[in-house]
Amino acid sequence: MSYSPKDEDYIKVDAVDAFFYPLHGIPTIVCNLEDGRQFYMFNVPAEIVMAINKTKGNKEEDIDYMRENIYDIIMFIPEIIDDFSKHIEKVIIDDIIREAGVYVATVEFKFDGVIIQKRMIPSHAIFLAIITNKPIFVKKKLVDEQEKESREGQQKL
């Protein structure tokens, strides 16, 4: 299964914002989509929010400022990023595990012309796409469903 930016079933991500949602401090990633909409992921690992912000030069108040995590080490070694860049083609947030309430991303890797797809935690896949400057897509159906659930939730208030 190959994804193309021209495929109407997928929407390209123009920018990614990562932050701790005000009041409750919920780690959040927002994908700003090329069609003007936004796709939200809540309760992502806090380390990913901090790592994404570090890639942008934004320094979070980090409780663990005295020790580094795997994302810091990956960004510290340019050869690792170069190797990832050679093999990662794109990231696609394309599924949801409804029982768990979590999204799934597919990362396309290319080795000697062969495409290998790996299903990943979306926030981790987004981090890889950001550090390698690779495109991110979201399945349009997931965006539509999220918007519908949000509208229905607001109507109940």
> What's the token pair of residue 131?
């550090």
Asked if 15 and 29 touch (Cβ cutoff 8 Å), the reply is no
Distance CA 114, CA 120 (A): 19
Average pLDDT over residues 2-16: 80
**Is residue 15's pLDDT more than 80?**
yes
By DSSP bridging, strand 88-97 and strand 102-111 are: antiparallel
pLDDT band with cut points at 50, 70 and 90 for residue 142? very high
**Is residue 154's pLDDT more than 80?**
no
pTM of the model: 0.89
* 46-60, 67-81, 111-125: least confident range: 46-60
pLDDT band with cut points at 50, 70 and 90 for residue 1? very low
By DSSP bridging, strand 136-139 and strand 88-97 are: parallel
Closest alpha carbon to 104 in 13, 46, 17, 41: 41
Tokens 């290998």 locate to 116
In the chain the domains, ranked by start, together with CATH numbers, are 10-59+68-156 (3.10.690.10)
- Amino acid letter, 94: D
